């Protein structure tokens, strides 16, 4: 336990009579190593933000100050996150945001995070070792590591070291609701994260001997493992011996505790090749081999159907050694079935991309006839293996991969490919609606990314090698319009929701807080220690009472700040004297909001 330290000899009277000299059996709240030792790591009841809370403006960050556009963002969101250039002659980018349909812009001044480091549902991102609140880029907390990935629902982020730091590596999760960094694994071997379950209950990772050129000291040299996000349950899934290169990956999740893993033991350049497909049950730790050597694969989690391309066994198969397209489904025990391709195709073909599109409830695949390099075919397939639409590529002559961008309801499909196809809009039945014009910007070489707006009748897009964000809408006959000129080439576009409990500036910029006057709060179960109430907002103030984990109180005063804490005056629900309690420390919150005040 971390205890309050009084180091000044000149404050002997304070030590004898004040906080440090008090006889108090309850330890000072503080961050602990690993999970708490009690029986609970539960969160308070889910709190749903009201419209008036979402409408209140987010705090303006103090480090660094954002550069606002002439029109500020709407208060409620959602917004679109993109990367903008930091200057007309600069190659640097900054995190920026725009309204879905309006002039509002914000250029944050902080470096643009990688797409996988951003959670649209949570409204947070990691950039470097900083946790950022979006869209403003407020730097809320420092993090252990630069590598991050998010659960699908945005409730949990997984942070990891890329290399050994000293003699150890670690996996840390950031729990959004608890506002807490929690180290769940520490090892003297290399830890490689593989994935997080959709709702953040499980983390799958690989532990391996970091120095592959030396005799491994770990046996097996590589172990694939899973651990619950509270750190309480761990599973050793399978070990790998004698492999020169191990790059196993998660194909997808069937349920919160069941997933499919593709095992890879060879490097085949840009070509995907895996030695087997496994199903894993994290509740029991059991693994099952479903299929052998394959290349591209995609999963429909709703019907638990996998589509994959079988390849000949061996180190790296050649394109002519691709065998067949295979469909497997849990409904018939993962028995492999051949998926028939169009009869007019030649026998010499290979896949360059395979995807599942939940909006269409269909797979798509791009196929190339060997030895030609540019893809000749782009088709969709239903989960039962029947062929859906065939999108003609009109003799594309550059070896770029054509891509489908369906609208949320599947009514519209943008298809991007190299010339002469360019960028085209189709209906759900595969009927060509329009060849998107290039007057506003050159999209003849296709577009980089499409973000459909929630109503499904308009989209934003970024381009290959060209700056700017384009917009097209059904109401404007799908004419492309340049709506943002500062966006970096090939910028990602992410729909950002307002955080359910946004952080705001406390004490004129000293710190950030999720709390405010009138809130009802609960003392967190992490760490498993009481939260002390003091007569004033400082660690040197006398103790008046304490609140055990799970106990509730109402905020009746504050905030007050010192260099390390934000303080609130609480009235305990159990009765007794009111007092000042710290909201938390650098590793997480001690007071969790459970009900917004009036």
The answer to whether the CB of 341 falls within 8 A of the CB of 386 is no
Q: Nearest CA to 73 among 482, 498, 559, 397?
A: 498
User: Which alpha helices (H) appear in 9-66, and where do they start and end?
Assistant: 12-17, 51-55
Report DSSP state, residue 165. B
Which CATH number among 3.30.930.10, 3.30.2130.30, 2.30.30.40, 1.10.3720.10 corresponds to the domain 9-47+501-595? 2.30.30.40
The whole-model pTM stands at: 0.85
Q: Is the pLDDT of residue 51 over 60?
A: no
* pLDDT at 41 (0 to 100): 37
What digits encode the pLDDT tens for the residues 541-552?
999 999 999 999
Query: What are the residues whose beta carbons fall under 8 Å from the beta carbon of 526, sequence distance 6 or more?
Result: 32, 35, 36, 41, 178, 180, 182, 588
* pLDDT at 395 (0 to 100): 67
Specify the range with the lowest mean pLDDT, choosing from 144-158, 217-231, 304-318, 580-594: 304-318
Q: Nearest CA to 495 among 544, 449, 526?
A: 449
Question: 330: pLDDT confidence band, cut at 50, 70 and 90?
Answer: very high
- Neighbouring C-beta atoms of residue 411, cutoff 10 Å: 14
Which 3 state secondary structure label does DSSP give 238?
strand
What digits encode the pLDDT tens for the residues 308-327?
999 887 666 565 456 689 99
Q: Is the pLDDT of residue 62 over 80?
A: no
Structure tokens at 36: 């708490």
């Amino acid at each position: 336990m971390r205890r309050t330290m009084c180091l000044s000899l000149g404050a002997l009277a304070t030590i004898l009579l004040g906080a440090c000299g008090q006889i108090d059996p309850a330890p000072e709240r503080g961050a602990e190593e690993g999970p708490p030792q009690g029986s609970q790591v539960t969160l308070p009841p889910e709190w749903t933000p009201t419209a008036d809370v979402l409408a209140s403006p987010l705090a303006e960050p103090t480090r660094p100050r954002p550069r606002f556009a002439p029109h500020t963002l709407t208060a409620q969101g959602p917004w679109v996150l993109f990367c903008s250039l930091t200057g007309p002659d600069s190659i640097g980018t900054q995190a920026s945001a725009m309204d879905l349909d309006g002039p509002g812009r914000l250029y944050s001044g902080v470096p643009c995070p990688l797409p996988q480091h951003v959670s649209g549902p949570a409204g947070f991102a990691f950039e470097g070792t900083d946790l950022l609140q979006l869209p403003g880029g407020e730097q809320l907390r420092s993090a252990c590591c630069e590598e991050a990935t998010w659960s699908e629902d945005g409730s949990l982020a997984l942070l990891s070291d890329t290399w050994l730091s000293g003699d150890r590596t670690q996996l840390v999760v950031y729990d959004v609701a608890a506002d807490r960094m929690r180290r769940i694994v520490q090892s003297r071997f290399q830890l490689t994260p593989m994935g997080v379950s959709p709702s953040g209950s499980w983390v799958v990772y690989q532990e391996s001997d970091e120095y592959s050129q030396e005799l491994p000291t770990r046996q097996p040299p590589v172990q694939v493992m899973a651990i619950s996000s509270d750190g309480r349950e761990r599973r050793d899934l399978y070990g790998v011996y004698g492999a020169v290169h191990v790059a196993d990956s998660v194909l997808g999740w069937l349920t919160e505790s069941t997933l499919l893993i593709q095992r890879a033991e060879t490097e085949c350049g840009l070509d995907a090749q895996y030695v087997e497909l496994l199903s894993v049950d994290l509740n029991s730790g059991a693994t099952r081999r479903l299929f052998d050597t394959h290349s591209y694969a995609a999963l429909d989690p709703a019907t638990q159907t996998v589509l994959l391309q079988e390849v000949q066994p061996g180190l790296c198969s050649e394109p002519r050694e691709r065998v067949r397209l295979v469909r497997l489904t849990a409904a018939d025990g993962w028995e492999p079935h051949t998926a028939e391709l169009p009869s007019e195709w030649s026998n010499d073909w290979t896949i360059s991309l395979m995807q599942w599109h939940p909006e269409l409830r269909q797979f798509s695949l791009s196929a190339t006839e060997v030895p030609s390099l540019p893809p000749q075919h782009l088709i969709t397939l239903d989960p039962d293996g029947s062929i859906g639409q065939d999108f003609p590529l009109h003799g594309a002559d550059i070896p770029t991969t054509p891509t489908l961008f369906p609208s949320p309801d599947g009514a519209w499909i943008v298809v991007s490919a190299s010339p002469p196809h360019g960028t085209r809009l189709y209906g759900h039945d595969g009927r060509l609606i329009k060849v998107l014009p290039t007057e506003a910007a050159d999209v003849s070489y296709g577009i980089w990314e499409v973000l459909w707006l929630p109503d499904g009748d308009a989209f934003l897009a970024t381009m290959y090698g060209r700056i700017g964000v384009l917009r097209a809408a059904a109401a404007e006959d799908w004419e492309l319009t340049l709506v943002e000129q500062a966006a970096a080439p090939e910028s990602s576009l992410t729909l950002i929701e307002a955080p359910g409990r946004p952080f705001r500036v406390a004490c004129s910029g000293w710190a950030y807080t999720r709390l405010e006057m009138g809130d009802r709060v609960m003392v967190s179960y992490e760490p498993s220690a009481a939260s002390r109430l003091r007569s004033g907002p400082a660690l040197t103030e006398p103790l008046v009472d304490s609140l055990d984990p799970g106990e509730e109180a109402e905020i009746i005063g504050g905030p007050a700040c010192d260099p390390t804490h934000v303080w609130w005056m609480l009235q305990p629900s159990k009765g007794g004297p009111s007092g000042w309690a710290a909201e938390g420390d650098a590793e997480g919150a001690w007071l969790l909001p459970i009900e917004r005040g009036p």
